[in-house]
Amino acid sequence: MRPKRIVIIGGGPGGNQCATHAARLGAEVTVVERDIVGGAAHLWDCIPSKAMIATGETLGLMRTARGMGISDVSASLDFTALRQRIESIEHRLEHSVTGLLESQGVALVQGSGRLVGPHEVVVDGPDGETHLDADVIVLATGSRPRLPAWAPVDGRRVLSTRDAYPPEELPEHLVVIGAGVTGVEFVHMFSAFGSQVTFIVSRQQVLPQKDPEVAAALEEDFLERGVRLFKGARAESIEVGEGTVSVRCDDGRQATGSHCLLAVGSVPNSDGLGLEAAGVDTDGGYVVVDHNCRSSVPHIYAAGDLSGKLPLSSVASMQGRKIAEHCMGLHGGPHRHLDYEKAASAIFTVPEIADVGLAEADAFAEGRKIRVTKVPFSANAKALIANDPRGFVKIVSDPATGVVLGGSIVGRNAAELISVIALAVTAGLRVTDIVESLLVHPALAEALADAAE
Ligand SMILES: Cc1cc2nc3c(=O)[nH]c(=O)nc-3n(C[C@H](O)[C@H](O)[C@H](O)COP(=O)(O)OP(=O)(O)OC[C@H]3O[C@@H](n4cnc5c(N)ncnc54)[C@H](O)[C@@H]3O)c2cc1C
């Protein structure tokens, strides 16, 4: 029997995870990519933003070096070196993903793919059109920043997130619009570089979707850094003047800076993809999928941001993996459906923020009985040794069974530490399983065991 032919449009985390996993399971896989393998995640989103944050963090460490017993530390930012550093990380990652795909026998086709029928993809590439027939098609074309009509984005003074890696010059005063994860990461990044930052937040809370206690810890840090917060203000227009950018809000307030950055969500890359020709249902441009990531056409799947689920690289990758298993017929065995409520996520600010599973506020709103235990890092030896005792660990569990339902961490290395709680939530472990783990001392992870006690 000939192997199943799978054509994947889009080589970001959703597409490339699906490709390598399906190839390992015996499929004949082709990935169509118009830009770089690794996707927007590597080129525009996760990687460059975290590389810039890491540089800001190093600057911050140098500024606080006195607290570690070090004197005479001076540091300045070199944007050219920073740009080179980001490009070098991107090249290395692109190289490693391409190598992995090739090692699994995945064919790569350069160009823009579209459906011309339920089983046929056409690629418009540098050498003209290529036709690909498929038994299964996976759409993983991602998303791009939403640019409101009232925002005169020019890539110089009025920036989308994609113009900021890094911008041509360090903004003297950056006005950031957008209270979500992306907005707060940019506020954090540029304030760490030394820019004055004004943050326009349409709600009464930074990170409106997060635990209020977690959001409050971040707001406190922003205020300490001198970030000006415009809460409850919705940006309505932007005026670019001689060296200035003025953002007017619906409550009459106006924020004037040297630059402005928009972080107001994303739109799916579904235009021109031929979804109608193939009979694929969409909602607001996102492909409608079931719990197996299958669209209204059973052999066409969607992974990643295009599926309109959680817009995270980690979720895109896991969707890709699950799609590979489903279309290769493994879903009858030990296959587990993706449970988006158990996805861990992090915000790479200082203090770092991470959470997973049931949030205390949501349990409260649902009237659900929970046990919440919380421990501050100020009681943790490693946090004191590292001169960074900010934040806390919070664990939410079932009071009857002790099963871990969720948790949040604010503090150093939160994005790494949350893995323990994520594993507990996914595997249905109890708080005693964490308490009785023989952990390293001194370690930040000891705060997890203390919180689970
Ligand atoms: C500033 C920012 C920071 C972020 N940081 C994080 C983070 O730290 N952690 C995290 O988990 N998530 C993060 N995200 C979210 C994450 O980047 C996305 O969820 C992730 O990239 C989605 O992966 P994807 O595979 O769906 O799409 P993408 O990564 O967008 O890849 C899609 C690929 O498809 C290609 N493509 C599109 N159309 C076509 C076509 N017609 N033919 C051929 N190729 C096509 C594109 O060129 C692209 O390479 C961040 C997002 C932003 C905006």
**CA-proximal residue: ligand 1, atom 2 (nearest):** 45
**CA-proximal residue: ligand 1, atom 37 (nearest):** 141
- How far apart are the CA of 229 and the centre of ligand 1, in A? 29
Q: For residue 409, what are its two tokens?
A: 């961490």
Distance CA 407, CA 390 (A): 17
Distance CA 322, CA 84 (A): 36
**Model confidence at 61: pLDDT above 90:** no
**CA-proximal residue: ligand 1, atom 5 (nearest):** 46
- How far apart are the CA of 270 and the centre of ligand 1, in A? 13
User: Can you tell me which atom of ligand 1 is nearest the CA of 46?
Assistant: 5
Question: Three-state DSSP class for 381?
Answer: helix
User: Can you tell me which atom of ligand 1 is nearest the CA of 10?
Assistant: 34
Distance CA 254, CA 246 (A): 7
Mutate to test the pocket of ligand 1, among 45, 116, 352 (most ligand atoms within 8 A of CB): 45
| pLDDT digit string, tens, across residues 329-371 | 887 665 567 899 999 999 999 889 999 999 998 898 899 999 9
Q: For position 248, what pLDDT does the model report?
A: 97
Q: For position 63, what pLDDT does the model report?
A: 83
Which percentage of the chain shows pLDDT scores above 90?
85
User: Can you tell me which atom of ligand 1 is nearest the CA of 123?
Assistant: 42
Look at the block and give the residue holding tokens 């299964």. Answer: 136
Backbone angles phi, psi at 7, to 5 degrees: -110, 130
**Model confidence at 402: pLDDT above 80:** yes
Confidence class of residue 121 from pLDDT cuts 50, 70 and 90?
A: very high
User: Can you tell me which atom of ligand 1 is nearest the CA of 314?
Assistant: 11
Q: For position 330, what pLDDT does the model report?
A: 85
Binding site membership of 420 for ligand 1 (Cβ less than 6 Å): no
Distance CA 200, CA 205 (A): 11
**CA-proximal residue: ligand 1, atom 21 (nearest):** 41
Question: Three-state DSSP class for 354?
Answer: strand
Mean pLDDT (whole number) for 61-84? 87
- How far apart are the CA of 227 and the centre of ligand 1, in A? 29
Closest CA to 394 of 383, 379, 410: 410
Average pLDDT of every residue of the chain: 94
Is residue 60 within 8 Å of residue 188, measured between CB atoms?
no
| pLDDT digit string, tens, across residues 135-144 | 999 999 999 9
Mutate to test the pocket of ligand 1, among 36, 50, 101, 305 (most ligand atoms within 8 A of CB): 305
Look at the block and give the residue holding tokens 């421990």. Answer: 375
Binding site membership of 112 for ligand 1 (Cβ less than 6 Å): yes
3-state SS of 246-277 is EEEECCCCEEEECEEEECCCEEECCCCCCHHH
**CA-proximal residue: ligand 1, atom 51 (nearest):** 45
Binding site membership of 85 for ligand 1 (Cβ less than 6 Å): no
**CA-proximal residue: ligand 1, atom 39 (nearest):** 141
Question: What's the pTM value of the predicted model, to 2 decimals?
Answer: 0.94
Crossing angle of helices 79-103 and 46-63, rounded to 10°? 140
Q: For residue 136, what are its two tokens?
A: 């299964």
